[in-house]
Amino acid sequence: MMIAGRLLAFLLLNLLFLPIGWGQQGKPVKTTITKVDGGFTIMRNGQPYFIRGAGGTSNMEQLKAYGGNSIRTWSPYQADEILNKAQQLGLTVTLGLDVKTERHGFDYNDPVAVAEQKEYLRTVILKYKDHPALLAWGIGNELNLHYSNPKVWDAVNGIAKMIHELDPNHLVTTMLAGINQKEIDYIKSKCPALDLLAVQVYGGLASVPEQLQKTGWNKPYIVTEWGPTGHWEGLQTPWGASIEETSHEKAAVYKSRYEASIGQDKNCLGSYVFLWGQKQERTPTWYGLFTEAGEENEVVDVMHYLWSGKWPDNRAPQLDSFLLDNRQAKDFIYLESGKTYPVKVFVQDPDGDKLRIRWELLQESTDLKEGGDREERPQALAGFIKNSADDKGTLTAPSKEGAYRLFVYASDGNNNVATANIPFYVRSTLNKTSGRAYHFSPVPIWSDEFNYSGLPDKSKWSYDIGSLYDGWGNNELQYYMEASRSNSLVQDGVLKITAKKENRGGKSYTSARLTSKNKGDFTYGRFEARAKLPRGRGTWPAIWLLPTNWKYGDWPNSGEIDILEHVGYDQDVVHISTHTQAYNHGINTQKTSKKKVSGVSDRFHNYRIDWTPAYIKGFVDEQEIFHVDNENKSFKEWPFDQNFHWLINLAVGGNWGGKEGIDDTIFPATFEIDYVRVYNLLE
């Protein structure tokens, strides 16, 4: 009751900030969905209506002038002002309802809290349901992001039913992060009161029609967020900085992805481009189509064309490339503190306008959130950049070691701008290996996508069998089976390694351990796996690498690289480690890192290491959590200059996995692997 009471107080406080006394102009405009020409269309006031919209409430005059017709909000905050202004401009509004998320601590198992939230939303619906600018209601935003409780969809349906009872004139939807089968199935079975689906997709926008068809969704939908390649989707530097597209690259992908999906799918009723404004999210320029000063980048030109069929009279500058030390962002740039490096931008204006170039240096943002949560903008660092000409200058690397990002803005004097940035890393001292810019092949040189059925591919995998070396050196309690469909099976596009409670070889459990030895052996590279982990005390899944020829002798002399380990008694905490003669868990000196990752047993996550001659770095869902450098001493510290191979296994018990006992009620327990991939280290 304490939690519910605090929630009620919070919701009542929110109501204080809902403006009162607004004068509605006119009557509600009836909005429905009609099946037509093998697809669907919105009928608004009896006329077909296709959403040409944007997320955000600033620059509404420009949106109208450029051919847009709708805006989308994330909450009812300042809804009076927004709806009235939209009505004056002839725009509509999909009004967001700020439904609480599990990732922010809301408990959908708490019926009192759920009921209080619904009652708060009832007041919002009654307040705005008759406004003539209202088009649709959006229940929450990305409620499926990092969630585990499907009761959220019962709450969504309850809210949708209530809306229809109170407001028969407008559409109701909920906004999903991405497209996957589980959520689509939940929406179909648990949310019949929704009128349509809303999805939010970035790099994968072009494939949305195909993805929805594969999930069995053949009903109407809208795309309520779409934009550049997301910071989680593209290339990352070895220190974990995402590489952002230039404004010119963004313009190209916005146009091509829109035309391939939203512009042609008859089930799509329109979209809201993101973001019609500006915000800090990883960088100040990543998602906003405007700068903080209100300048418009080239994507605004693209939206003008997509909405109106014509380009603006004066177009934004087009930035071709941006170089630091004669290198691009994808070259993974390391600089030495205090040294000076050249910078140059290649940019042109299609109208021949004279361009003004400005530079900005920021430390890499550390206030990293998810789901669009508010992030603080890093402060600009002054005095490090000097212009030598309009399009070039010099950068003096800061003395403080760490991650930075250099921005360039090219303005045409007509409120248009081109933008780009380069992340770089400053080292206070550079040796001949640590300062190198390492990168990897864009496609795997070896992989198993598990897109077949039956036993694992014998051309890639063999088996460790039995229970050697006193439970594989760790007092593990399982017997590893060879080519047993009940323990290692490829099915439904994933490898399933299952541990069972059954006697074999003097052990009380069976499981499987796959190895690519002599079938997939590599020195250096990017090693990546996507996996969903078993749940339960006593499980110990792992994805790791061992030396193929044991160049420096038995363990730990020749090394070990652990890409992923998890023990069931410490749910959702994942580990990445390396072991050598000098640094290993036997003497408690191992190099290791861990991270709490919500839902590792509920959905797939990505686990990866980048192994180079200079370092090994480990990542979970593209975020770096582990780093060990080559100290350039001896094999005792760095035996990682020889072939290693994959191992994938699910152990039971053992010195670590069984530290708090084994819960026999969890068996059978299954470890699922979607793929494993190796990318070559490029010289």
Sign, Cα dihedral of 60, 64, 67, 68: positive
**Residue 25 burial (CB count, 10 A):** 12
- pLDDT above 70 (res 16): no
Taking only the tens place, the pLDDT of each residue in 462-509 is: 999 999 988 999 999 999 999 999 999 999 999 999 999 999 999 999
Q: Which of 17-26, 373-382, 387-396, 484-493 has the largest mean confidence?
A: 484-493
At residue 605's C-alpha, the angle toward residues 604 and 609, to 5°, is 140
Buried-state track 209-237, b at ≥16 Cβ within 10 A, e below 16: bebbeebebebbbbbbbbbbbbbeebbbb
Taking only the tens place, the pLDDT of each residue in 521-538 is: 999 999 999 999 999 999
How does residue 330 score in pLDDT terms, banded at 50, 70 and 90?
confident
How does residue 671 score in pLDDT terms, banded at 50, 70 and 90?
very high
pLDDT at 10: 37
- pLDDT above 90 (res 390): no
To the nearest whole number, what is the mean pLDDT of the chain?
92
Catalytic residue among 183, 245, 560, 672: 560
Averaged pLDDT for residues 282-287? 96
Residues in contact with 165: Cβ distance below 8 Å, sequence separation at least 6, in sequence order: none
**Residue predicted with more confidence, 4 or 41:** 41
Long-range contacts of 399-402 (CB under 8 A, 24+ apart): 399/337, 399/338, 399/428, 400/337, 400/426, 401/337, 401/426, 401/427, 401/428, 402/363, 402/364, 402/426
pLDDT at 435: 53
pLDDT at 569: 93
Q: Is the bond leading into 668 cis (omega within 30 degrees of zero)?
A: yes
8 Å CB contact between 434 and 427: yes
Q: Is the bond leading into 19 cis (omega within 30 degrees of zero)?
A: no
Catalytic residue among 298, 565, 624, 637: 565
- DSSP labels, 177-224: ES--HHHHHHHHHH-TT-SSEEEE-STTGGGHHHHHHHHT--S-EEEE
560 noted as active-site residue: yes
- Which letter does DSSP use for residue 471 in this model? I
pLDDT at 429: 54
Instruction: Match 């007041």 to its residue by tokens.
Output: 123
**Residue predicted with more confidence, 543 or 624:** 543
Tokens matching residue 176: 């999903």
Q: Identity (one letter) of the amino acid at 262?
A: I
- Which letter does DSSP use for residue 422 in this model? E
Tokens matching residue 63: 């949106």
pLDDT at 683: 67
Q: How far is CA 263 from the centre of its chain?
A: 25
> Quick one: 435 exposed, middle or buried, by C-beta within 10 A (0-12, 13-18, 19+)?
middle
How does residue 380 score in pLDDT terms, banded at 50, 70 and 90?
very high
Q: Is the bond leading into 135 cis (omega within 30 degrees of zero)?
A: no
CA 392 – CA 28 distance, rounded (Å): 56
Q: Which of 418-432, 586-600, 642-656 has the largest mean confidence?
A: 642-656
How does residue 15 score in pLDDT terms, banded at 50, 70 and 90?
very low
Tokens matching residue 100: 């609480």
Question: What does pTM read for this prediction?
Answer: 0.66
Sign, Cα dihedral of 554, 559, 564, 565: positive
476 noted as active-site residue: no
Averaged pLDDT for residues 605-629? 93
CA 543 – CA 676 distance, rounded (Å): 10
**Residue 6 burial (CB count, 10 A):** 11
Averaged pLDDT for residues 376-399? 92
- DSSP labels, 229-265: --TTTS-B-TTSPBPPPPHHHHHHHHHHHHHHTTTT-
